[in-house]
Amino acid sequence: MVDEGKQISRTLIGSLARDTSGNALALIATAMFPLLAMVSGGVDMSRAYLSEARLQQACDSGVLAARKRLGSEASVTGLLPDGVADVGQRFFKVNFRDGAYGTSERNFEMELGEDYSIAGQAEVVMPTTIMHMFGFENIPIKVNCLAQLSFNNTDVMMVLDVTGSMAETNPGDAQSRIDTMRATILSFHAQLQQAAMAGTRMRYGFVPYSTNVNVGHLLRDEWVGDEWAYQSREIVETGSTTSNATYYSAVTPVSGTQGTSISETYAASFDELKGYYCPTRPPNTLKTQTKKTSQMDEPFAGPPEGKRTITTYKRTRDGDTYSVRVKGSACEVSRTRYVKYVDTYTATTEPRFGSSTKFLYDQLPRDVFNWREETLGCMEDRETYEIGNYDNVNLGRALDLDIDRVPLQGQPETQWRPMYPSIIYAREMERNGNGKFNPKKVESSKDFIAPAKLGSAACPAPAMKLTPLGEEELSDYLDGLAATGSTYHDIGMIWGGRLISPTGLFAAENADGTNGHVNRHLIFLTDGQTATLDVSYSSYGMEPVDQRRWSPKSKLTLNETVERRFAFACSEVRKRNVTIWIIGFGTELTPVMKNCAGEGQHFEAEDADQLNVTFATIAKNMSQLRILE
The pLDDT of residue 452 is: 87
Burial of 440 (0-12, 13-18, 19+ CB in 10 A): exposed
| Cβ(561)–Cβ(550) below 8 Å | yes
3-state secondary structure (DSSP) of residue 153: coil
Contacts of residue 547, Cβ cutoff 8 Å, sequence gap at least 6: 386, 439
Q: Is the pLDDT of residue 509 over 90?
A: yes
| Cβ(223)–Cβ(407) below 8 Å | yes
pLDDT tier for residue 2 given thresholds of 50, 70 and 90? very low
Lowest mean pLDDT among 88-92, 263-267, 566-570: 263-267
Higher local confidence (pLDDT), 85 or 262 = 85
Longest dimension (CA), the chain: 170
Helices 177-195 + 608-622 axis angle, to 10: 30
Of 129, 195, 204, the closest CA to residue 522 belongs to 204
Burial of 183 (0-12, 13-18, 19+ CB in 10 A): middle
The arithmetic mean of pLDDT across residues 532-539, rounded, is 94
Query: Which stretches of 270-384 are DSSP H helices?
Result: 270-274, 371-374
Query: Which stretches of 362-428 are DSSP H helices?
Result: 371-374
Q: How many CB atoms lie within 10 A of CB 279?
A: 10
β-pairing, 330-353 vs 241-267, is antiparallel
SS (H, E, C) 261-278: EEEEEEECCHHHHHCCCC
| Cβ(66)–Cβ(74) below 8 Å | no
- Summarised one tens digit per residue, pLDDT across range 442-481 is 999 888 999 988 889 999 999 999 999 999 999 999 999 9
**Tally of residues, the chain:** 629
3-state secondary structure (DSSP) of residue 490: helix
Higher local confidence (pLDDT), 128 or 88 = 88
Calpha distance 274→281 (Å, rounded): 19
| Cβ(469)–Cβ(478) below 8 Å | no
Calpha distance 546→542 (Å, rounded): 6
Cis preceding linkage at 563, omega within 30? no
Mean pLDDT is highest, among 239-248, 263-272, 423-432, 556-565, for 556-565
For 115, half-sphere exposure in the C-beta direction (CA atoms, 13 angstrom radius) is: 13
| pLDDT more than 90, % of the chain | 48
Helices 84-95 + 23-70 axis angle, to 10: 150
Calpha distance 178→461 (Å, rounded): 13
The pLDDT of residue 265 is: 75
Handedness of CA 313, 299, 245, 214 (dihedral sign): negative
Read out DSSP for 107-150?
EEEEEE-TTS-EEEEEEEEEE-SSGGGGT--EEEEEEEEEEEEE
The pLDDT of residue 31 is: 47
The pLDDT of residue 466 is: 97
The pLDDT of residue 35 is: 47
Of 489, 493, 514, 513, the closest CA to residue 502 belongs to 513
Calpha distance 474→160 (Å, rounded): 14
- Summarised one tens digit per residue, pLDDT across range 15-35 is 545 555 555 555 454 445 554
The arithmetic mean of pLDDT across residues 546-551, rounded, is 97
Whole-angstrom CA distances from 471 to 468, 487, 499, 589 are: 10, 29, 21, 30
The arithmetic mean of pLDDT across residues 402-410, rounded, is 95
Whole-angstrom CA distances from 53 to 44, 58, 529, 572, 626 are: 14, 9, 54, 46, 18
Calpha distance 327→315 (Å, rounded): 33
pLDDT tier for residue 1 given thresholds of 50, 70 and 90? very low
Q: Is the pLDDT of residue 404 over 80?
A: yes
The arithmetic mean of pLDDT across residues 233-240, rounded, is 80
Whole-angstrom CA distances from 457 to 347, 391, 447, 629 are: 14, 32, 17, 57
Calpha distance 83→86 (Å, rounded): 5
Higher local confidence (pLDDT), 231 or 134 = 231
Cα separation of the two ends of the chain: 85
- Summarised one tens digit per residue, pLDDT across range 165-179 is 898 899 899 888 999
Number of H helices, E strands in the chain: 15, 23
Lowest mean pLDDT among 143-152, 408-417, 556-565: 143-152
Q: Is the pLDDT of residue 164 over 50?
A: yes
Query: Which stretches of 445-579 are DSSP H helices?
Result: 451-454, 471-479, 489-500, 507-510, 543-546, 558-575
Rg of the chain (C-alpha set): 38
Contacts of residue 169, Cβ cutoff 8 Å, sequence gap at least 6: 175, 176, 177, 257, 259
**Which domains does the chain carry?**
25-149 (no CATH), 150-214+460-531 (3.40.50.410), 241-353 (no CATH)
Lowest mean pLDDT among 80-84, 120-124, 448-452, 574-578: 80-84
State the average pLDDT for the chain.
85
Calpha distance 580→573 (Å, rounded): 8
The pLDDT of residue 237 is: 80
Higher local confidence (pLDDT), 162 or 626 = 162
3-state secondary structure (DSSP) of residue 441: coil
The pLDDT of residue 514 is: 55
Whole-angstrom CA distances from 22 to 15, 19, 30 are: 13, 8, 13
The pLDDT of residue 629 is: 52
Handedness of CA 236, 237, 238, 243 (dihedral sign): negative
- Summarised one tens digit per residue, pLDDT across range 302-337 is 555 567 788 889 999 999 888 877 676 677 788 888
Higher local confidence (pLDDT), 552 or 267 = 552
Higher local confidence (pLDDT), 259 or 365 = 365
pLDDT tier for residue 564 given thresholds of 50, 70 and 90? very high
* Eight-state DSSP code of residue 445: S
3-state secondary structure (DSSP) of residue 296: strand
Contacts of residue 99, Cβ cutoff 8 Å, sequence gap at least 6: 106
The pLDDT of residue 515 is: 57
- Summarised one tens digit per residue, pLDDT across range 189-206 is 988 887 776 667 899 999
| Cβ(597)–Cβ(580) below 8 Å | yes
The pLDDT of residue 596 is: 97
Task: Name 583's bridge partners.
Answer: 525, 603
Q: Is-above-0.75 flag for pTM?
A: no
